[in-house]
Structure 1
Amino acid sequence: MSKLWVRIEGTRFVDRQGRHLILRGVNLGGDCKLPYPDGGTDRPSDFSDHRSVSFVGRPFPLAEADTHLGRIARWGFNTLRLLVTWEAVEHAGPGEHDAHYVDYVGHICERAAAHGLAVFIDFHQDAWSRMSGGSGAPGWTFEKLGIDFRRFDAAAAAHVMQYRYDYSNPERRQESRYPAMSWPVNYRMAANGIMWTAFFAGATLTPQWQVDGENVQHYLQRHYFGAVAAIAKRVASLPNVIGFDSLNEPGIGWVGQKMSQRPAPPPISDHSPLRLGPMWTPFDGLRAARGLTTKVPFYSRAADGSIAVHEVEYNSSRTSIWLSDGSDPFEQAGAWRAGETAAQVVDEDFFIKNAGQRIDHERDFMQPFFHRMAAAIRSHNPDWLLFAEINPHLIAQGRSFPKDMPPATINASHWYDLALLWSKRSPSTPNAAHQTEKRKLYGLQLAYFRTIGERLNGGAPTLIGEFGVPFDLNDGESFHRWSAGERNSAVWQAQALALQSVYDTLDTLLLSSTQWNYTASNRNDLRVGDGWNQEDLSIFSCDQQPGDDDGGRAVAGFCRPYLQRAQGRILQVHYSQDEGVFRFSIDLDPEIEGDTEIFIPARFARTAPSIALSGAAVQQQHSPDRQLLKLRAAAAGIVEGVLHCR
């Protein structure tokens, strides 16, 4: 039997004693995408130091680990999705792993164990790399593929805050230069189109593209898995490290797109910002990357809600991102031709079909990737769980994991209230009807995500790997109130109510989760936030210390009673914050050695809790120092409980 703290049985997580587990965790943390200590996007950079940077100190210096991890555990979390990046491990060059960082990650995991926190490692990326507007891959990946990332801004190949922002301007948000939450536009631009296509489909679409005598896809994936293996080797003996995430929100490049077919403007009823902005096609991106001036339609929403379309000219400087003169690998493979007078599409279906057969991204590329990832980690610990993700855009299209997945795979898909995430607008005091509608919407959407897990390998657990709320809602209203001296929970009421609705839904569906996120360096500052592209979803801010909640924001929204592990199978849980009542039912199994444990936050647990039990007989023990109510059954049966928490 596995020695890990967590294993799976069908669609459930269980511990070593066989108790049904709910993993309630947090992502640690948002600034792990960045070099330490001065790598945040709130500071200018030309990335010239990309080979000499260090990530030791992310998520925090080791001397501060017990303070932060102790806080996370006191808030009731039992799991960490620990962010690392390929760049953090292998920034110096191909095959040159940062031994100091690898050992540092091991020490963080060891300290997490001391606080009772299970860990799974997330190799994180957004928009491929810091140099292309996101995080993840080392800068040398561009260089090895013959690409100069220093030319990305001039060539309109990537949308990068460090090139767009005027850091000398005291204005905290500069929407005309770098709109908030605009970084996802990078997935439609040339840098991401090229890199993700090469990473997943290079052997299929550009077999002639060689890097040091090896196909580009095989070269990139070999180094990625090498970085994963370096971390895996260091933490293989730690029982609280329960597995690895496959790769955060992997891009798909241009796979599945027509070369020159543009998407239609969204209907007025579609308020998603994902379908606004420049509508790049692969042909547009390849032309601009080659140094050709390119006009691209730009979709924006007019004041009346309609969609306005105008053309924007890009790369007027005629800058090429390719280090060598002449054709790029896609032109060499027959996708397009630059021509002497005008560029032409040669194969409109180049990214859709290969050798006359339609490409299936999940089957052809993700399926072998998942198996290679599983092999890379399980060569060091065969019991590790694989927390798998496909591109969130594919899930929105109704697509899912390929049929043939490695055993012990978890559905670790991400879910957000996109309207809230992108608009950053919310009523300061939402009414009951608003909350009810949110719960209905969340219930439908998260139930669908659970179904994805139930179909994976005939039935697998689902852990929502990311969800969260922006704390910079309404132009930073909460920050202004805090700065003005308000020190009460009303400052974060909008965020707490939003989180409450999510956790209510997770409880109803018995879903495990890791909230996005805990950032140790977070600031109540519209420019800084989590330190990355003006995002601010951290439940902790160092600007709020000292304080009643020890730096926590909207703590009442996430630090709440829940059934952490059960001596049997959890049937139902429900917490009503308004009533101050926590209800649960468990199908007890006395053969399981271990107590049922209910987390009760310290603000409720100063005295023995009032609990009414019915059904099977159980003994109870209150451990206020651990914020736990323990129940022990000697006989099988169903027990129902009503716990009053005020």
Structure 2
Amino acid sequence: MSRFLDIRGNQFVDRLGRHVILRGVNFAADTKVPLTPDQRTFVPADFSDHRTVSFVGRPAPLEELDIHLDRLAHWGFNCLRLITTWEAVEHAGPGQYDEEYLDYFAEVCRRAGARGFYVFVDFHQDVWARMSGGDGAPGWTFEVAGLDFTKFDKADAALLMQKRYDPSKGGRQESYPSMSWGRNYAMPANGIMWTLFFAGSIFAPSARVGNENIGDYLQRHYLGSMRALAERVADQEHVVGFDTLNEPGTGYVGKLLEQDLTFGGGLRWTPLHGLASASGAAQKLPVLAHDKSVVGEVTVNAAGESIWLPGFEDPFRKAGVWGFDEMGRAVALKSDHFTKIDGREIDINRDIMAPFFNRVALAVRQVRPDWLIFAEVSPFALAAGNGFPSGCPDKTVNASHWYDLTSLVLKSFSAEKMVNLLTGQVSTGREQIEASYKEQMQQIKAAGDQLNGGAPTLIGEFGIPYDMNGEAAYKRWAQGERAADVWSAQTEALNLMYNAIDQLLLSSTQWNYTLGNRNDAMIGDGWNQEDLSIWSSDQHDASVDELDSGARALHGFCRPYVKACQGKLLSQRFDKTAASFEAEIEVDAAIEAPTEIYVPAVQFPNGITISLGSSSAEVKHTGSIISVASSLSEKIIIHIRGRDAA
């Protein structure tokens, strides 16, 4: 059997040989948390029930699923990055898989395939687990590592909305700052767990579960869960691959003990601070602004709470990596401990990520050999200009993420001016902002172009917060406004992002579509006050078609593009203002299947005109799809314009 979707250089190709652009969404954000009981992050929790939770019904109860899949197909998407978590599969305990959930997940995949979606599975995580401020790993992973997650909040080992947020008050709260969850990567719980997961055998050889090193034990179970799910969907050819692990952290690997772990502003944690605090020693940390200037000082773990379980001790302290002096102060005894392997400098890509990618590939390809691997390195490493390692598995995709951090973190956007939060670069006006987006995405594409000599790049996540600009859109909606202009800022931002994606001919899966989203600062996508869903029940409008009802900034993401190309797609561009789309194609007449272009009525409400220049190719227009077939190997420029366009 030929591959349902394959790779040819830096392109995706279908089994007919056509160049395919994957344009999809992440489905869905609240899949990160259990449905039963409801453990969206604004709900206070002590996680004592972590072994008995259920994720069945995430991303949607089966009785509600079909209309949402129909809607996504109607909007022109052809791909789903289908979210699951290690916890969803193996929450009950090591080796205990949730069979009901695996059956449910397989049915979601089947229904997606019935609507023509390509699906790739994302084992999602953010800052390791729900108990450490995010999602992903089961609670028992802390227990086998010797950590007491019930102490994390009191010991300042993690920042949790479930502990710091008061749902009776709602809104934004200083106790849990907006978009602060990412700070957990630098905090003790994450620092320790990621170090053990990726490099336990290197840096903590004495940390064992039975006769097995803790790192080997954790990875074996992670990959076992992935394989268990793979076995349930192996017969579905439209399931085309697996993501390696969403936005992986690297803990203290490659860091000196006194090295700053802060990315942007916040508390200036170092590995030494983290390890000492985890062992119950209060630490004074500088507070940094985004430009790294010191703006204050905070004492963490003032309660002096150790997060190590009885009978466990810090394996790094035990190995003489750090300790306390006679004054009770934490001191580095082997400052370069996390930077050396076999007497040389450790290379995270070569020594950690490449072997991990190959373990993932082996685990899933033992089930089905044709699966693609959608690989991700640490987003911090990518931002620093580090790409993918050599020695990645064959048929690996660059699935890196990209966000306009200014709009994401500050929840603001203006088409008049944008300041890059990382570089300080100022872009003025739409043209410069779009060029800035393209330049940033080009850096990601360059990593794919170098991966295995050239691999496709799929932007695995990008998107915009719908509560931006002081929740202006929600306020207008609440006042009864229903015009598309309500979402003008969001639409403009998405238009510029998709313009950049089109210019680079990238595939993409936008973050996200979530059934439970609400126009509420407390709820949002149901996870840590993020609010990026392109759909919300609060936007249901009985006056519009059911398939469009609930959309947010529909004109920003529902736009024409070449889904599959009879040959090679050379360029595509959509001018939203002029209602004009143009694509240039190098036809391969040996391919006996047409080019297919998605053309949504929402962008061309009065119909379209189509011109092909001098080509004699055959054109068919059925519903929202334009098919163009040529019997000649030639270059074709396809122009599509709205009938009322100038």
TM-score range, shorter chain: over 0.9
Is 1:379 the counterpart of 2:366? The answer is yes
Q: What amino acid sits opposite 1:391 in the alignment?
A: S
TM-score (norm 1): 0.95
TM-score (norm 2): 0.95
User: What is the aligned partner in structure 2 of residue 609 from structure 1?
Assistant: 608
User: What is the aligned partner in structure 2 of residue 287 from structure 1?
Assistant: 276
Describe the shift of the 1:607–1:298 C-alpha distance in structure 2 as closer, same or farther (beyond 3 A). Answer: closer
User: What is the aligned partner in structure 2 of residue 314 from structure 1?
Assistant: 300
**Alignment partner of 1:159: what SS?**
coil
Moved more, 582-591 or 341-350: 341-350
Q: What amino acid sits opposite 2:8 in the alignment?
A: E
Q: Aligned-pair distance for 1:637?
A: 0.7
Q: Aligned-pair distance for 1:24?
A: 0.4
Equivalent runs, 1:52-71 vs 2, <5 Å: 52-71=52-71
Contact 1:566–1:595 at 8 Å: present in 2 too?
A: yes
Equivalent runs, 1:169-568 vs 2, <5 Å: 169=169, 171-174=170-173, 176-262=174-260, 274-300=263-289, 307-324=293-310, 327-338=313-324, 341-342=327-328, 343-427=330-414, 434-547=429-542, 548=544, 549-568=548-567
**What is the alpha-carbon distance in structure 2 between the residues aligned to residue 385 and residue 326 of structure 1?**
40
**What is the alpha-carbon distance in structure 1 between the residues aligned to residue 245 and residue 162 of structure 2?**
25
**What is the alpha-carbon distance in structure 2 between the residues aligned to residue 63 and residue 360 of structure 1?**
48
**Alignment partner of 1:491: what SS?**
helix
Q: What amino acid sits opposite 1:351 in the alignment?
A: F
Out of 624, 635, 645, the position equivalent to 1:638 is 635
User: What is the aligned partner in structure 2 of residue 134 from structure 1?
Assistant: 134
**What is the alpha-carbon distance in structure 1 between the residues aligned to residue 642 and residue 122 of structure 2?**
35
Alignment deviations for residues 597-616 of structure 1 (CA, whole Å, 9 cap, x no partner): 11011335677631111243
Contact 1:615–1:637 at 8 Å: present in 2 too?
A: no
Contact 1:2–1:383 at 8 Å: present in 2 too?
A: no
Q: What amino acid sits opposite 2:633 in the alignment?
A: A
CA RMSD across the alignment: 1.7
**What is the alpha-carbon distance in structure 2 between the residues aligned to residue 429 and residue 485 of structure 1?**
27
Q: Aligned-pair distance for 1:433?
A: 5.3
Q: Aligned-pair distance for 1:446?
A: 1.0
Number of corresponding residues: 629
Q: What amino acid sits opposite 1:137 in the alignment?
A: A
Alignment deviations for residues 443-491 of structure 1 (CA, whole Å, 9 cap, x no partner): 1111111111110101111000000001010221111111111111111
Q: What amino acid sits opposite 1:358 in the alignment?
A: E
Alignment deviations for residues 556-611 of structure 1 (CA, whole Å, 9 cap, x no partner): 00101111111111111111001111011111112112111110113356776311
**What is the alpha-carbon distance in structure 2 between the residues aligned to residue 353 and residue 533 of structure 1?**
36
User: What is the aligned partner in structure 2 of residue 268 from structure 1?
Assistant: none
**What is the alpha-carbon distance in structure 2 between the residues aligned to residue 127 and residue 160 of structure 1?**
11
**Alignment partner of 1:320: what SS?**
coil
Q: What amino acid sits opposite 1:10 in the alignment?
A: G
Q: Aligned-pair distance for 1:46?
A: 1.1
User: What is the aligned partner in structure 2 of residue 583 from structure 1?
Assistant: 582
**Alignment partner of 2:509: what SS?**
strand
**What is the alpha-carbon distance in structure 2 between the residues aligned to residue 516 and residue 156 of structure 1?**
30
Q: Aligned-pair distance for 1:325?
A: 5.4
Contact 1:246–1:373 at 8 Å: present in 2 too?
A: yes
Q: Aligned-pair distance for 1:354?
A: 3.1
For structure 1, the 5+ residue unaligned runs are 264-272
Contact 2:563–2:597 at 8 Å: present in 1 too?
A: yes
User: What is the aligned partner in structure 2 of residue 8 from structure 1?
Assistant: 7
Contact 2:416–2:428 at 8 Å: present in 1 too?
A: no
Contact 2:415–2:429 at 8 Å: present in 1 too?
A: no
Q: What amino acid sits opposite 1:554 in the alignment?
A: A
Equivalent runs, 1:624-635 vs 2, <5 Å: 624=623, 627-635=624-632
Contact 2:413–2:493 at 8 Å: present in 1 too?
A: no
Describe the shift of the 1:275–1:335 C-alpha distance in structure 2 as closer, same or farther (beyond 3 A). Answer: same
Q: What amino acid sits opposite 1:322 in the alignment?
A: W
Identical aligned residues as a percent = 49
**What is the alpha-carbon distance in structure 2 between the residues aligned to residue 426 and residue 60 of structure 1?**
31
Q: Aligned-pair distance for 1:340?
A: 5.8
**What is the alpha-carbon distance in structure 2 between the residues aligned to residue 448 and residue 3 of structure 1?**
29
Q: What amino acid sits opposite 1:402 in the alignment?
A: P
Q: What amino acid sits opposite 1:637 in the alignment?
A: E
Describe the shift of the 1:606–1:498 C-alpha distance in structure 2 as closer, same or farther (beyond 3 A). Answer: closer
User: What is the aligned partner in structure 2 of residue 270 from structure 1?
Assistant: none
Contact 1:540–1:553 at 8 Å: present in 2 too?
A: yes
User: What is the aligned partner in structure 2 of residue 105 from structure 1?
Assistant: 105
Q: What amino acid sits opposite 1:380 in the alignment?
A: V
**Alignment partner of 2:183: what SS?**
helix
**Alignment partner of 1:614: what SS?**
coil
Q: What amino acid sits opposite 1:56 in the alignment?
A: V
Q: What amino acid sits opposite 1:230 in the alignment?
A: A
